[in-house]
Amino acid sequence: MIADRKDDHVRHAVNHRRNHSGGNDFDSVAFVHHALAGIDSADVRLGVDFAGKHWNSPLYVNAMTGGSTNTGEINRQLAVAARETGVPIASGSMSAYFRDPAVAGTFRVLREENPHGFVLANVNANATLDQVHSAIDLLEADALQIHVNSVQEVVMPEGDRAFAGWPRRIEEIVAGVPVPVIVKEVGFGLSRQTVTWLREAGVAVADVGGRGGTNFARIENDRRAGADFAFIEQWGQSTAACLLDCTGITGIDISASGGIRSPLDMARALALGAKATGVAGAFLETLVDHGTEALVAKITTWLDQLRNIMTVLGATTPAELTGRDVLVTGDLAGFCALRGID
């Protein structure tokens, strides 16, 4: 049942975070410190123009859940945190709603709790135009996310095995909806080739959704006894690698998600070319373990600290972080060498 799967995803995602060492490729990205580069904190502006609107900061709560009683309550609490901090929020995949309209409330709560906020609907790349319209209508969504998650699907015995129609469907959706479209991976990364294709298809934002945080291959393997797909847990490119791979691509905005653990990771992602950063697992863990107020405090602190980092680096806007001096080391430097990235 979809509802059980949604509950399992939350449980395993949070458990993995509790037991995970937490290292990822962002640890291989260091800012060069220039002691006289600093500016006045009062001159820092965190706002960005993104996905068709002005956002107060380059941060959003990424797609997670909905479709069961428990995940409806999680969505309610996430929406309250988004409202209190002014950050945009995405729903989890709305396939459950397409199959059973009775679960509409578990998604609709994102808008009810956050009537003036920026809300994103989330669908898979098989969704029909009618389904996409109903998802956007239900949430009065400001933008649409389409997730492309072939790796997650093949790890699930009950998952999809037909991906050839995705590019065509993405084109149809882009042409047929009244809001900006974001295409996102769920933790295995978008390559330069994929992002370039998305740009040609008219997609507004590519959320690279790379490796380094929530790992859906691991989650799906852990959901069933005797799963033999462990090798695929290392699949894909890290978020930092994806951003470097996309260096210089114009005509489509890039956002970064997958393994953003801190305001420093946000700054690193912005320096590597992201215009905004999305967080799922780190916020879910705080919410489940410590509640809504703790999540509000965490988001507030992250934004304060991002401002401090920008002050030290001399960046008045998130866009000015792009191109700041960074050192790239370790396997990530090897990736750059292999891909011919300077």
**Shortest distance in whole angstroms from residue 9 CB to ligand FNR:** 4
Is residue 186 within the footprint of ligand FNR (CB under 6 A)? yes
In the list 173, 232, 243, 279, the residue contacting ligand FNR (rule: CB under 6 A) is 279
Angle between helices 69-85 and 281-290 (to 10 degrees): 100
* Among 9, 169, 218, 298, contact with ligand FNR (rule: CB under 6 A): 9
Angular region, 184: left φ>0, alpha ψ -120 to 50, beta rest: beta
Q: What are the Cα distances from residue 291, in Å, to 42, 198, 284?
A: 31, 37, 9
Q: Is 258 in the site for ligand FNR (CB under 6 A)?
A: yes
Distance of CA 2 to CAs 7, 123, 130, 157, 294, Å? 9, 14, 21, 13, 29
Quick check: 187 binds ligand FNR (CB under 6 A)?
yes
Smaller CB separation from ligand FNR, 114 or 311: 114
Nearer to ligand FNR, 25 or 315 (CB): 25
Residue 268 found at the interface with ligand FNR (CB under 6 A): no
Q: Rule CB under 6 A: say whether 62 interacts with ligand FNR.
A: yes
Shortest CB 201 distance to ligand FNR, Å = 18
CA distances to 10, 84, 87, 217 from 293, rounded to whole Å, are: 19, 9, 15, 31
Q: Which stretch binds ligand FNR (CB under 6 A): 98-106, 134-142, 221-229, 251-259?
A: 251-259
Q: Does 65 bind ligand FNR (CB under 6 A)?
A: yes
* Site size toward ligand FNR, by CB under 6 A: 27
In the complex, least distance from residue 192 CB atom to ligand FNR, rounded to whole angstroms: 19
**Position 256 contacts ligand FNR (CB under 6 A):** no
148 binds ligand FNR (CB under 6 A): no
Name which position in 106, 122, 134, 238 contacts ligand FNR (CB under 6 A).
122
Contact flag: residue 63 with ligand FNR (CB under 6 A): yes
* 151 binds ligand FNR per the rule CB under 6 A: no
Least distance to ligand FNR from the beta carbon of 172, Å? 19
Is 29 a residue that touches ligand FNR (CB under 6 A)? no
Range list of β-strands (E), the chain: 29-31, 48-50, 53-55, 59-61, 89-93, 119-124, 143-147, 181-184, 205-207, 253-257, 276-279, 326-328
Residue 281 engages ligand FNR in binding (rule: CB under 6 A)? yes
Which DSSP string corresponds to 47-115?
-EEETTEEESSSEEEPP---SSHHHHHHHHHHHHHHHHHT--EEEEETHHHHH-GGGHHHHHHHHHS-T
CA atoms of 23 and 6, how far apart (whole Å) = 26
Specify the 3-state DSSP secondary structure of 291.
coil
257 lines the binding site for ligand FNR (CB under 6 A): yes
- Please select the residue that binds ligand FNR; options are 88, 209, 273, 318, rule is CB under 6 A: 209
The residue among 79, 72, 136, 158 whose CA lies nearest residue 107 is 72
* Sole window of 79-87, 103-111, 163-171, 206-214 interacting with ligand FNR (rule: CB under 6 A): 206-214
Q: State whether residue 228 is helix, strand or coil.
A: coil
Nearest Cα to Cα of residue 330 among 21, 28, 26, 23:
28
Give the span between the Cα atoms of 203 and 175, in whole angstroms. 9
> Residue 263 interacts with ligand FNR (CB under 6 A)?
no
> Using the rule CB under 6 A, is 93 a contact of ligand FNR?
yes
Cα gap 191→210, rounded to integer Å:
9
Which residues in this chain contact ligand FNR in the complex, by CB under 6 A?
Answer: 9-10, 13, 62-65, 92-93, 122, 145, 147, 184, 186-187, 209, 213-214, 257-260, 279-282, 284
